[in-house]
Amino acid sequence: MKKTVLKKMEELYGDANGAKVYFAPGRVNMIGEHTDYNGGHVFPCALTIGTYAAVKKRADRKLRFYSMNLEKLGVIESSLDDLKPSDAADWTNYPKGVMWAFAERGMKMDCGLDIVLNGNIPNGSGLSSSASLEVLTGFYLRDLFGFDVTNVDLALIGQYSENNFNGMNCGIMDQFASAMGKKDHAIFLDTADLSYQYAPLVLDGAKIIVTNSNVKHSLVNSGYNTRRKESEQALADLQKVVEIKSLGDLTEEEFEANKSAIQDAVCAKRAKHAVYENQRTIRAVEALKANNLKEFGELMNASHVSLRDDYEVSCDEIDVLVEEAWKVDGVIGSRITGGGFGGCTVSIVKDEAVEAFQEKVGAAYQARVGKTADFYVVEIGDGPSIVE
């Protein structure tokens, strides 16, 4: 990948002298979905797939971006004097947003950059290609300009830019997972205060399989922001009767005792998911520590049902993938992962069932939906790095 991006840089920009190559991973979330902006726990891990960038400084203030994944768009030019979101900027709104967010914090770039990107995260898969790109941008800015920021700061800056530059009201999980990844570990993160611990995710005799539905509904941004508003309304209603800062502060029992305070039935369903999913995530990590993979899988399954019925962020195609996965012997657990409305499922599958899983789920999906699913047996990797 390093040779590929450097060769492309030479082709496009004349030379690659002084260029450095950087990497930031995508992520998959094992459990704890739509809890990150509700003050709950999440349990993601960084993947060994992600986004690579060759970057070199320029002598002027020009910015030149090129993505090998979106070659039709060609080189997109901008400038440090034009760090504003626009439709014409297309995907470069993500790195430009991070540059803008650094400047907002008083960390201003003193020259422009030539950038070539190449990612091996499937587009629209829900494996956080956008967060990977944001963390990658922050990481190379820190390295090239000597900005004094930690990896946690990189996650927060990425989230801030996506919220305020790109208008996507995401929580912290995706950026945190990319910035703080650790090989063979998932991150048990309390999004209320960003306290976290690494939990080993070495699955003896089983594999993590991500299944891409190859469906991305246009609801993603609008639906996501709507869910967030509904959760916030439920929280505001609950705060009239119970002293909490977030939905993540409630146990299931406390929620059931106070849920009548929520005025709107849809908002009540959203809050129920946030509360129950948070408790499922806490129990899932305990199960993993106790080496109880069976319970972990059952909690994954319950998570999917809640995301389908209470949070309503699944879709027919994803439900088919999960239903078919549950039918296969050797599947420990399977659920939707990511923001929803398409994207991917994540499954834990016993080694001896991996082949049958791909064949059976793939065939059933083709028969029921008329589409082809893609399967990735994923490995858990580290956070961002300079590619030597």
Closest CA to 35 of 328, 270, 206: 270
Asked if 174 is an active-site residue, the reply is yes
Rounded Cα distance, 152 and 81, in Å:
27
Supply the pLDDT for residue 125: 66
Query: Is 0.85 surpassed by the pTM of this model?
Result: yes
Domain hosting residue 79, numbered range? 2-200+382-386
Q: Is residue 284 part of a domain?
A: no
Q: Name the active-site residue from 15, 60, 143, 174.
A: 174
CB 132 within 8 A of CB 180: no
Is residue 327 within 8 Å of residue 360, measured between CB atoms?
Answer: yes
The pLDDT, as a whole number, for residue 19 is 96
Token readout for 272 is 């129920």
Q: What pLDDT score does 167 carry?
A: 85
Tally of structural domains, the chain: 1
Rounded Cα distance between 122 and 211, Å, is: 11
CATH of residue 178: 3.30.230.10
pLDDT along the chain (388 residues), means of 10: 95 94 95 93 94 97 96 96 93 96 96 96 75 96 97 96 88 92 94 92 90 77 86 97 96 97 97 97 93 95 98 95 98 92 93 97 97 93 96
- 187, 44 Cβ separation under 8 angstroms: yes
Q: For residues 361 and 46, what is the distance between their CA atoms, to the nearest angstrom?
A: 25
In a domain, 328, yes or no: no
Note whether residue 100 is domain-resident. yes
Q: What CA–CA distances, in Å, run from 81 to 62, 66, 84, 178?
A: 9, 19, 9, 29
Q: Is residue 142 included in any domain, yes or no?
A: yes
Q: SS3 letters for the chain?
A: CHHHHHHHHHHHHCCCCCCEEEEEEEEEECCCCCCHHHCCEECEEEEEEEEEEEEEECCCCEEEEEECCCHHHCCEEEECCCCCCCCCCHHHHHHHHHHHHHHHCCCCCCCCEEEEEEECCCCCCCCCHHHHHHHHHHHHHHHHHCCCCCHHHHHHHHHHHHHHCCCCCCCCHHHHHHHHCECCEEEEEECCCCEEEEEECCCCCEEEEEEEEEEECCHHHHHHHHHHHHHHHHHHHHCCCCCCCCHHHCCHHHHHHHHHHCCCHHHHHHHHHHHHHHHHHHHHHHHHHCCCHHHHHHHHHHHHHHHHHCCCCCCHHHHHHHHHHHHCCCEEEEEEECCCCEEEEEEEEEHHHHHHHHHHHHHHHHHHHCCCCEEEEECECCCCEECC
Is 342 part of any domain?
Answer: no
Q: Is residue 45 a part of any domain in this protein?
A: yes
